[in-house]
Structure 1
């Protein structure tokens, strides 16, 4: 038992540009809008790049700083009291400098430790895990945790989409760009969400990756390798099973029964996958908090986007569990919250 509990005081999010609907996407890429609706289920998404020429209009640092600024503004915590920044992302703006340090610069923060964790959908929760540890250890009284991704910069827009394999085509309709952030504190202020547990566990020993994002240097940028690749069948069969395991582990650890859970924040790969996972988890007492149908799969931003919706609904004494599964090398992640 720790002597220093950790709390989420506030959450902020940021999405680039206007939402792009399925009809606009279908027209731009020559994709059947009905196929997007039936197979993926996402209605809209936001892109940080110009779809006509691929120009980056919003960097990850821009979006992350905007989300973090909003979290700070509503937290009741002075920027001078922020003791650390932890950021999780799969798509940093550059290999160096670390994007987290560009975010700190935009926020006007200096003379504090910063950490950047390279990971997919579990990266936000890995960042939350580290942030919680820094608070509960008594090392810091407050800090910023950030998650975000700009996936579209990895997608080549000037190609013949009619000839793409489904495993590659799905990436153009599945993902969106965005960022989210939370202010963690050692006392209950603001949103007053007690961060009871963060689960973060690799289970990928000997297993093939379910998702790969390539990083090309000058020597291999024209290699012809697919930049972003998913084994959607493996993800479809594995993620629901892992989600159930995560949920029950967190319930058991907290000593909660099914009826004790008020809110469920399920994995957000796609709207269709989320529907399936929620049905299989079968938690009728818990209200689902999802956003992927409107935001697209924003990877490390998603848990914060779900939490931002939770903040406005959860009442004192109510409990919530969030689940995230990373398919790149199979990571179980989740968290347990209670409003105090």
Structure 2
């Protein structure tokens, strides 16, 4: 008998403010067409003044708990993936814990930028299988609008704010790749590529949050190669191939990266969940957001084989293969 970490509930939250591409035409040398053709993004959401990452995370957590038919008393721990925490410390996870009324269990944050949710999900799986918890909330939440350089048209038009969450519980499996739950994962990083995507500030350097900096073209080339490789590795670990996958739910960074990765894997775009047009790049929140939308719209159903992959600053990248 094999224990599997299975998804018991999912939910998401998006801030009220919708920012269409046309809004950037007022302040930048850009157009709606330029943004759409290069990224696939049509609109994104920005958090309201005073609305924090933990605020978004709490709303997504409550939606996931409601979807699962559970309460905070049923949760043993919270893992939040974010690169835009409310404060240097304490963790966003402990803030979510407080707002949910949890006085038991544990909470901590994971920081792997856009790959953060993959890293958080893999950590949650390991904790559950090791017997450290029976049920966990895993959340991706970001307010990237707070670290944008609004004069840099190559970056500020790409990102948005939001949060997604899922509840992971335990279920007995057979050990076969037909089991429900997380079947495999693959994590990677390479610090030599740091300058491709980073924020030019921090506690021990400038003492300020800093702004996001990106080398778009080199990052694009690395992304397609590394995302394809990690996806194939996760599949090979359990004796599956791309043709077995029902849905790819990728990090929603850029439609061209999503299309390029699907093409290299030999999968049609009608088997890919795409939300980048509505949300922009929400970093660690993008995969749980896309998963939640996929379930909400009736695409992802129980028993479907779902592959998620992401790459972010570090560079850090990875994938998780699960049966819904």
Partner of 1:124: 117
Any conservation in 1 of the 2:182–2:323 contact (CA below 8 Å)?
yes
Give the TM-score normalised by the residue count of structure 2. 0.89
1:314 matched to 2:314: no
**3-state SS of 1:169 partner:** coil
**Equivalences for residues 41-52 of structure 1 within 5 A:** 41-49=40-48
In structure 1, the gaps of 5 or more residues are: 50-55, 162-167
Structure 1 pair 47/29, CA: closer, same or farther in 2 (3 Å)? farther
Shift, 1:219, TM fit: 8.9
Mapped to 2, the partners of 1:255 and 1:79 lie a distance apart of 37
Mapped to 2, the partners of 1:12 and 1:66 lie a distance apart of 9
Give the TM-score normalised by the residue count of structure 1. 0.85
Structure 1 pair 201/69, CA: closer, same or farther in 2 (3 Å)? same
Partner of 1:249: 233
Any conservation in 2 of the 1:182–1:304 contact (CA below 8 Å)?
yes
1:200 matched to 2:182: no
May I ask how many residue pairs the two structures share in their alignment?
A: 316
Shift, 1:278, TM fit: 2.3
Structure 1 pair 124/235, CA: closer, same or farther in 2 (3 Å)? same
Greater shift, 262-271 or 106-115, is seen at 262-271
Shift, 1:89, TM fit: 0.7
1:182-241 Cα deviation digits (max 9, x unpaired): 1010138xxx95121222222x1544432111335699469xx97210011211111111
- The alignment yields a C-alpha RMSD, in angstroms, of 2.4
Partner of 2:242: 258
Mapped to 1, the partners of 2:148 and 2:294 lie a distance apart of 32
1:293-325 Cα deviation digits (max 9, x unpaired): 110100011110121133332344431211111
**3-state SS of 2:9 partner:** strand
In structure 2, the gaps of 5 or more residues are: 173-178
1:215 matched to 2:201: yes
1:134-188 Cα deviation digits (max 9, x unpaired): 111122211111111111111254xxx4xxxxxx322210000011111010138
Greater shift, 28-37 or 303-312, is seen at 28-37
One of 150, 168, 186 as aligned partner of 1:184: 168
Pick the structure with greater CA Rg.
Answer: 1
Any conservation in 1 of the 2:14–2:56 contact (CA below 8 Å)?
yes
One of 310, 316, 320 as aligned partner of 1:331: 316
Any conservation in 2 of the 1:261–1:285 contact (CA below 8 Å)?
no
One of 260, 271, 284 as aligned partner of 2:255: 271
Partner of 1:58: 51
Mapped to 2, the partners of 1:78 and 1:57 lie a distance apart of 27
1:105 matched to 2:98: yes
1:76 matched to 2:75: no
Shift, 1:7, TM fit: 0.4
